[in-house]
Amino acid sequence: MNWRRHTDYRVYLVTDRELCLGRPLEDIVLAAVRGGAGAVQLREKHASSREFLELARALVSRIQPLGIPLIINDRADIALASGAAGLHVGQSDLPPEDARRLMGPDAIIGLSVETMEELKEAEAYDIDYVGLSPIFATPTKTDTHTPWGLEGLRLARRTSPLKLVAIGGIHRQNAAAVVEAGAHSLAVVSEICSAENPEEATRKLLAAFEGSGRRA
């Protein structure tokens, strides 16, 4: 399947098992998919390679047959071995051009950007989106630059042709404002992973996107 052509990025779940309140990550992911999440990124900073791969394979088998891509954070080896649909890299990870070469022409490749300079440089790469990080300050990721804020997001949208995945401090109360400022996608971690009802939390985020009148 050519995931690059058929992915709905409007609500993009980025996982964090530590925020799942003791619940199995697979249950959270499936609930989010039922609620309308169109993409899932598996982010595992502390798991062993074997554990990461087993989790990736389990999620690939459950969500990709439903048309929802699993995107692996950082680890091209895990993405390839699990049959995941894509790979997300940061500025200090595998260079985007090497990620594309390894993953192939049909895979999703995403790149985190934290400054306007990085956003401009990203235009030279064969990628599918940039993760604009962080939009707002967030406790789930502290090693970041100054938040973009809504004005920074508006500037990014005016100046860049790339698909903008907004992440960092996004929740249902500010989701519509983020979309209206120019985001093509709402990427969230704790808003879904820590929600009492992850399916309903996802639905509310999607409703905020749809209520803005914009399309991804």
What is d(CA 78, CA 28) in angstroms, rounded to the nearest whole number?
21
Q: Is 141 a catalytic residue?
A: yes
Q: Is 49 a catalytic residue?
A: no
Catalytic residue among 17, 34, 141, 214: 141
How many Cα atoms are found within 13 Å in the side-chain-facing hemisphere of 32? 35
Q: Which two tokens stand for residue 1?
A: 């399947």
**Residue owning tokens 């309308």:** 36
How many Cα atoms are found within 13 Å in the side-chain-facing hemisphere of 162? 28
Catalytic residue among 10, 82, 100, 112: 112
Neighbours of 210 (CB within 10 A): 14
Neighbours of 215 (CB within 10 A): 9
Q: Is 112 a catalytic residue?
A: yes
Catalytic residue among 10, 43, 172, 203: 43
Q: Which residues are catalytic, by number?
A: 43, 112, 141
